[in-house]
Amino acid sequence: MAAPVADTAKSAHVEKKNKKKPVKRYWEVTEETGQKRQDQDNPDQTTSTKDTRPLKIKKTGQSQSWKNDPFPGEAPIPQKQLQKFQRGAKHKVPAGAHGKLKEAIVWSKTVSELAQKQAARYDLLLPEDAGFLEGDDDEDTCRISQEDIADAVDITSGSKYFNLHLTQFGPYRVDYSRTGRHLLLGGRRGHVACIDWQTKNLTCEMSVMETVNDVKWLHTEAMFAVAQKKWLYIYDSKGTELHCVKKFNDVLKMQFLPYHFLLATASATGFLQYLDVSVGKEIAAICTKMGRLDVMSQNPYNAVIHLGHPNGTVSLWSPNQKEPLIKMLCHRGAVRSLTVDKTGTYMVTSGLDRKLKVYDIRAFKPLHSYFLPAGASCLSLSQKGLLSASTGDVVQVYQNVWGGNPVSKPYMAHRVRGQVWGVAYCPFEDVLGIGHGQGFTSMIIPGAGEPNFDALDTNPYRSAKQRQEWEVKALLEKVQPELISLDPTQLSKVDQGSFEQRHKERVEVLGYDPLAKEKFKPRTKKKGRSSAGAIEKRKRKVAHEDQRDVIRQTVEERMEKEKQQKEKSSESKELSKKSALDRFRKQGK
């Protein structure tokens, strides 16, 4: 199942079509750095030194033994790897820094350098590389059919290409769980099914007897959300209905933000709503005033939701702001689909004007614009940056859409039986799932999935126990929805807003002004002293006192100002008064 296994197998079976680069070894990388290691010349030697090194240490406690060490010191780390783990810019110790400041800066510097180095060193543990498809000299890769690929690769990989004929319940939406093990299918006419797609075990299947607009896994494969005709429902993996969330109506599209435990929904009424899945609370409901919202995507980098609109604009939203963070005009016609890449750098949109556009969403500038003969209805980006676009019943996969050269032809293409309704890449697998009018198709796309997974974050092989533990940890590390903003590193910056600004925000949060002066409230007194007139008199007194204070203050200020002015003017007078004869005056007097 793992990409590595599959890939090696592929290379064994297919000679040319499905080639895979040999696995990179660490000595190959080190050679680039130009360090002392000359392993490349004689790889045998490296193994021998590797074996003998610990022996040497054991043998001799003398200092002389180190002199003979051909590789003194730590193993060098290639600059490229170090760069990968660079965090922010270093700050030099300023010239006039006092002791404590110097200490703090130096300490942080050493620590972050250590962290960077260690991380770069541990990069060694991610040895797998993504494969890719390579055609013959005059063969187009996009003309290679899935059947050929499936025949050529090993059995396990070949079994990843399959079709599910589900003709009754109309076009299907698709969603893979975060680990890539489980598949959720939602038929337009009410069919919902969960499958462990690798073993083809059906976890649950049901008909909700209603239109199903979208389906989405929640944080684990134990729960999923289904946007039905009217309300939003949440089911568990056995198909039991857990919740019917009536605050969320007419939902058309959903996105789940895994680190925030937020389910974001876009409705036909133009509402963008956020549901906190961990506590079951609605975090925000934003009226976008943009009409029907049926195009939605999330930016995995900063958890910002992207919405596409019929007027050709794409708007970016966070739950903390009632207006879009960004609104950009992308197409002349309506936006049909959009997707954002894993690093949050690129956004791909397609519109009714039959264009496919690649945007750099750090600078909000278009990089490439492609014209597709029939436009693209569903877009999806894989972990490795392969773009799949469906036009009608054809699914095309593009490589390097944001590279320097514009793409002229697809990397792969496949025709399915019906109109494509949903496209999704399976994480950590070279598989693209396509939901269409006639069921579901799983397609093999070499080089689509990330070959190295982070077992602490998303482990495709985790057991039930591990999953439970992961859930607890993830809940503990849950990111609060307030922290969603365009720049996720904003939290680590110093807030430079003025005091007034902060005070205003504080008042907004608290609902009252903590620094406000209390209004005078006269006490009730006995013996007729609390008559309306007396109370008014007392009030007046206090008011007068306050006014007097104010007046006193202003007068004082004015006096001071005048005094200063006077001094200034007198000084200038003295200067101006000086006559030419003054220079003969004796200095002593």
Partner 1 sequence: MAVVREQKEFSMDNEVISASEDEEGSDDERKHNKLLQAISSLGGKRRKNQTERSEASLQVSEFLVNAEGAGDKIALSDLLGTVEKTPGASKKTKKQLRNLQNRNETLQLPLNKEQTEKIQRGIAYEKSTQEVSRWQGIIVQNQKAEQLVFPLNQESSRPKPVEQIVAGWKAETPLEQEIFKLLNNNSQPIHDPVLTPIEEASLKAMSLEEANMRRAELQKARALQSYYEAKAKREKRIKSKKYHKIQKKAKRKEFVKQFEEMMKTDPTGALEELKKMEMSRMEERMSLKHQNSGKWAKSKAIMAKYDDSARKAMQEQLQVNKDLTQKMVTISDDEHETQEEESEAVPDFVNDVEPIVDAVNPWMRNRIPREEPEVICVTTEQPQTVEEEEEEEEEKNEEEELLADFQRKRALRQADEDDDLVPVPPAEEEIDNTGEVAREEVVGEDVVNISDSDDDNDDDEEDVSQFNTLFRLMSSEKAREAPAQTQEGREDEEQLLDEGHVRVRTVEDLEALGEAEEPQPSASANTSTPQTATSEPPAKKSKEIDLNAVLTKEAKAIKVPLMPAVVEDDEERDEQISIIKEAFAGDDVISDFLKDKRKQEEAGRPKVVDLTLPGWGEWGGVGLVPSRKKRKRFRIKMAPPPPRQDKKLPDVIISEKRSASVAAHQVCQLPFPFQNPKQFESCIRTPVGQTWNTQSTVRKMTTPKVVTTMGAIIEPLVREDYIKDKSSIPASKAPAIFLEDKSKGKDGKRMSKDKHKGKESKKRRKI
Site for partner 1 in 427-456 (CB under 8 A): 437, 456
How near is the Cβ of 99 to partner 1 at its closest, in Å? Answer: 8
Taking CB under 8 A as the binding criterion, the range among 366-374, 461-469, 512-520, 551-559 that sits at the site for partner 1 is: 366-374
Q: How far apart are the C-alpha atoms of 271 and 249, rounded to whole Å?
A: 9
Give the residue from 304, 184, 166 showing the smallest Cα distance to 236. 184
Q: How far apart are the C-alpha atoms of 278 and 476, rounded to whole Å?
A: 11
Does 138 contact partner 1 by CB under 8 A? Answer: no
Does 223 contact partner 1 by CB under 8 A? Answer: no
User: Quick check: 181 and 42 in contact, CB under 8 A?
Assistant: no
Choice between 125 and 516, CB closer to partner 1: 125
Q: How far apart are the C-alpha atoms of 167 and 176, rounded to whole Å?
A: 21
How near is the Cβ of 362 to partner 1 at its closest, in Å? Answer: 12
How near is the Cβ of 532 to partner 1 at its closest, in Å? Answer: 33
Taking CB under 8 A as the binding criterion, the range among 33-41, 221-229, 338-346, 349-357 that sits at the site for partner 1 is: 349-357
The footprint of partner 1 on residues 471-490 (CB under 8 A) is 477, 482-483, 485, 490
| From 51, 54, 58, 61, residue interacting with partner 1 (rule: CB under 8 A) | 61
Element (H, E) at 116: helix 99-122
Q: What is the x/- site pattern for partner 1, positions 509-528, by CB under 8 A?
A: x-------------------
Taking CB under 8 A as the binding criterion, the range among 243-251, 439-447, 497-505, 525-533 that sits at the site for partner 1 is: 497-505
How near is the Cβ of 349 to partner 1 at its closest, in Å? Answer: 12
Does 139 contact partner 1 by CB under 8 A? Answer: no
Name residue, tokens 């979208």.
214
Q: What is the x/- site pattern for partner 1, positions 384-413, by CB under 8 A?
A: -------xxxx-x---------xxxxx--x
SS3 state at 272: strand
Beta-carbon-side half-sphere exposure of residue 88 (alpha carbons within 13 Å): 12
Taking CB under 8 A as the binding criterion, the range among 72-80, 361-369, 427-435, 550-558 that sits at the site for partner 1 is: 361-369
DSSP secondary structure string, 121-145?
HHGGG-----------TT--GGGS-
Q: How far apart are the C-alpha atoms of 245 and 225, rounded to whole Å?
A: 10
Taking CB under 8 A as the binding criterion, the range among 24-32, 96-104, 378-386, 541-549 that sits at the site for partner 1 is: 96-104
Does 274 contact partner 1 by CB under 8 A? Answer: no
Distances 176 to 116, 198, 241, 422 between C-alpha atoms, Å: 33, 12, 20, 11
Choice between 476 and 516, CB closer to partner 1: 476
The footprint of partner 1 on residues 317-336 (CB under 8 A) is 318, 320-321, 323-334
DSSP secondary structure string, 519-547?
PP-PPP-STTTTSHHHHHHHHHHHHHHHH
Task: Please state the φ and ψ torsions of residue 266, each to the nearest 5 degrees.
Answer: -120, 130
